[in-house]
Structure 1
Amino acid sequence: MPRQYDHQRVLATTVDAWGRALWLICPDAELRPSSYGRPHPQPRTSPYDALLVIDSGGAIREHSLHDVSLRVTDLDALPNGRFILQGYGATEDQNAQIYCTDGRRRHSFAIGSAVEFLMADRRHQIWTAYFDEGVHVDPISAAGLVRWDSGGNQRWRYTPPEGIEYIDTVYAFNVDDDVAWACYYPTFPLLEARTNGEIRLRKTPVVAPAGMAVHREQIMMLGGGRQPDRLHHCRMTEHEALLVEEACLTLPNGAPLKRCASPVGRGRHLYLRGTSPRQWYVTGI
């Protein structure tokens, strides 16, 4: 994130389908304790105005969003200059909100609870993957993986083939145009879900990966077990992903990758950050 924003609190960050880094900033935010670990920035008032900082290959652009009523945990960019926010604080039927180019909210809808990943592609598709606290209690989240159009209408939800375990928690996720890839607990199959409704499941040699990059028949999976820095390069066949080689991923300065917060998989690229939301790294196939 550019240094001129160092004093600002980051509510949420991601890398979008165009490879741009996004940071949502609230000038009037404060750090508050969290039962899930580190304190999180939260706006002092609601609704509030937020600043979206966009880094596109070093070109910085600001975009103001007005009257935000969510404590935002996820965001992404949509085609035609729109953005989607997801979080807490609004009513259950408004926990996802779409903003247009003028920075005003145009649509709100219920996107389910316990969202582990929210990612959009360049073709008006929004994918949401969930973890167990939502899967077992929320009708929307129960499928574990849901696809929406960019107007917030549900278009598809995952139903596993007979004999395959349902999704409990999605551990690793990747979205490219017209396809999403997920690896999920409890059995960690590799799920390929296409926007035409076709799905395919493959066995993988990696248990509990944290992220993945996919390009044609190649897949690179990060982590697994208790090895957060382990890269597994695999070749996909019709029914499984076969391990080709392994390596250890380090930061650009050679330091070990000890912890990775919410990797973002975009096709052949895997975007990573450490404990700070202010800097993204990229690796891939």
Structure 2
Amino acid sequence: MHGPDGLPARELTLGHDIQALVTDRDGRIWTAYGDEGVYGDHPASQTGLHGMDAAGRTVWSPGRGELPGHPLEGLAAATEGRAVWLAWYPDTKGSFLTRVDPSGGPSSSLPLPVREPVGFAVGGDRAVFLDHRSGLLWAERVGDGWKELRRAPLGLPGELDRQRAYGRNGVLWFRSGNGWYRVAA
């Protein structure tokens, strides 16, 4: 880890097979792991989803029965204010978006409107999801799910960089070809 001055401050082991990683505005690190991490030997990875502070101390990991399944593969991550959202799919059907309130509130999970988003952003009850096959999908949170508002194909020059899509406070940033793109939820 690097400090505010850009110099190395400390080293941390974050786990194995990290598929999605995001930091929040308080410097906490949130990760969603792949199956090799979940079934591996690092304790942070085994829960599938994990939050830690800058010193490497666990601030959140899902308790037994807290999620609608056991995470098998992390997909993407985003922040909204102090909350963090982690997209993942379990060893059963479906894929989910879990919201974690780091101030101690309960986590909540909703089914995802796309199976495997490359990235997403959430702002209030609105969200935008980036699917590498079908493009962008805007949705509104309604009860325990999402109502699709509209879809748009990407139609951008170059290939979508599936490793560089980030959601912050309702804005999705992603890279395609030689450019970065910004889309609001």
**Alignment TM class, shorter chain as reference:** 0.7 to 0.9
Report what 2:118 is aligned to.
210
Whole-angstrom distance in 1 between the partners of 2:120 and 2:46: 23
Report what 1:72 is aligned to.
none
Task: Say which one has the larger Rg.
Answer: 1
Q: Is the 8 A contact 1:202 1:239 kept in 2?
A: yes
Report what 2:32 is aligned to.
129
| Count of aligned pairs | 179
Higher relative contact order (CA 8 A, sep 6+): 2
What is the root-mean-square deviation of aligned Cα atoms in Å? 2.2
Whole-angstrom distance in 2 between the partners of 1:153 and 1:164: 25
Unaligned runs of 5+ in 2: none
Q: Secondary structure at the residue paired with 2:52?
A: strand
Q: Does 1:246 align with 2:147?
A: no
Q: Does 1:142 align with 2:46?
A: yes
Whole-angstrom distance in 1 between the partners of 2:183 and 2:58: 32
Displacement after TM superposition at 1:146 (Å): 1.0
Once the two structures are superposed, the pairs formed by residues 173-192 of structure 1 within 5 Å of their partners are 173-186=77-90, 187-192=94-99
Once the two structures are superposed, the pairs formed by residues 28-43 of structure 1 within 5 Å of their partners are none
The 1:243–1:125 alpha-carbon spacing in structure 2 relative to 1, beyond 3 Å, is same
Q: Is the 8 A contact 2:74 2:89 kept in 1?
A: yes
TM-score if structure 2 supplies the norm length?
0.85
Identity of aligned residues (%): 26
Cα distance per residue 1:227-256 (max 9 Å; x no partner): 1x42111110231111122111233xxx4x
Once the two structures are superposed, the pairs formed by residues 115-126 of structure 1 within 5 Å of their partners are 115-126=18-29
Whole-angstrom distance in 2 between the partners of 1:214 and 1:148: 21
Whole-angstrom distance in 2 between the partners of 1:168 and 1:204: 15
The 1:248–1:103 alpha-carbon spacing in structure 2 relative to 1, beyond 3 Å, is closer
Unaligned runs of 5+ in 1: 1-97
Q: Does 1:273 align with 2:175?
A: yes
1:233 to 105, 117, 138: 138
Report what 2:3 is aligned to.
100
